[in-house]
Amino acid sequence: MKRYLQKLSDGHSLERDEMRGAVQELFKEDTTESQIACFLTLLKTKGETVGEMTALVEVLREKALPVTSTLKDVLDNCGTGGDGSQSFNISTTSAFVLAGAGIKVAKHGNRSISSRTGSADVLEHLGISLDFQAHEVENLLNETNIAFLYTPHIHSGLKKIMKVRKELKIPTIFNLIGPLTNPVQLETQLIGVYRRDKLETMAHVLRELGRKRAIVLNGADYMDEASLAGENHLVLLEDGEVSSFTLSGDEVGLPSYTLEEIKGGDAGVNARILQDVLQGKEGAYTDTVLFNAGIALVAHGKASTFAEGVKLARESIESGRANEALSSLVHYSRQRRKQVI
């Protein structure tokens, strides 16, 4: 570890192979917490490169719960978090809408870290298991179109690193790469990022990781979700090419809402909001989900335009299929708990 720290302290970036070696060192028992903290801080100070981020993700995926899937066109719509907006669980709610629209969603997520309520907190409140085993993930994707992959369960070897991150109390490379570490081999992805300056960097990392198509976005008010409060900044990865553009809700026929109108609460409150949206209750929450799900449908390639994406998302809710995806995942979780008992 010493030589990697020395190179970073001199202001030099690590080559991809060097970064892989450094990350392997992070997992060793004799690597101290001080060395981990130093490594993460030096990377942040220097600025993380595409090669460094890609190498970190590759090693983390190799050490994750081995989820193998023969399914094609699986998507994740997990965001980085960290925007401080205190919004309801937009991407989690959107995931069920996507499942209802016929997309297989391997939803990566965690408990609350910077927000009041994380995806795992809400899903657990709804009765959904957080410890799905590797073989169950493909079963769920086949049966319900959606599976939830709880970060601490999938990446159980990160406990020491997570402890250091909590003690540092500053954003590090791990705040950016979380959505990239899904162990399922994704072909498409939507990622919301809390840092607008990292949009193209994230898109290039996705290309290095083999994504065929993806959208990385930073919303109005610098949310890590698409916002109906104004202009959103998006980067599209398609056929190896990266392009940037902006998108507002009025371009797809959706009204404007302030950030205050989409704030959430604790797990119980956000679970109720999720259920209301999937049951078709109109308003700011549902329109925000339609916007985000519509963008994800374009990221996947199921919709060719954002207006068409919003239309398909609306059909998923109005048909009841989005709510059925939630009910199916809850039912599956209940049945597996009965088997354990």
φ and ψ of 131, to 5 deg: -120, 40
CA dihedral 225, 311, 143, 104 (to 10 degrees): -50
Question: Does pLDDT of 86 surpass 90?
Answer: no
The residue that leads in pLDDT, 340 or 1, is: 1
Tokens linked to 60: 């983390």
Looking at the DSSP bridge assignments, the partners of residue 27 are none
Checking if the pLDDT of 70 tops 90, the result is no
Q: How many CB atoms within 10 Å of residue 135?
A: 9
Q: Rounded to whole angstroms, how far apart are CA atoms 256 and 187? A: 32
Using DSSP's 3-state secondary structure scheme, residue 322 falls into helix
Lowest-confidence region among 51-55, 107-111, 115-119, 189-193 = 115-119
Joined together, the tokens standing for residue 150 give: 């709880």
pLDDT at 116 over 70: no
Contact between residue 145 and residue 330 where contact means Cβ atoms under 8 Å apart: no
CA distance linking residue 166 with residue 161, whole number of Å: 9
pLDDT in tens, 278-303: 999 999 999 999 999 999 999 999 99
Q: What is the pTM of this model?
A: 0.94
Predicted pLDDT of residue 103: 97
Task: Answer positive or negative: Cα dihedral of 208, 209, 211, 214.
Answer: negative
Return the minimum-mean-pLDDT range out of 39-53, 102-116, 200-214, 310-324.
102-116
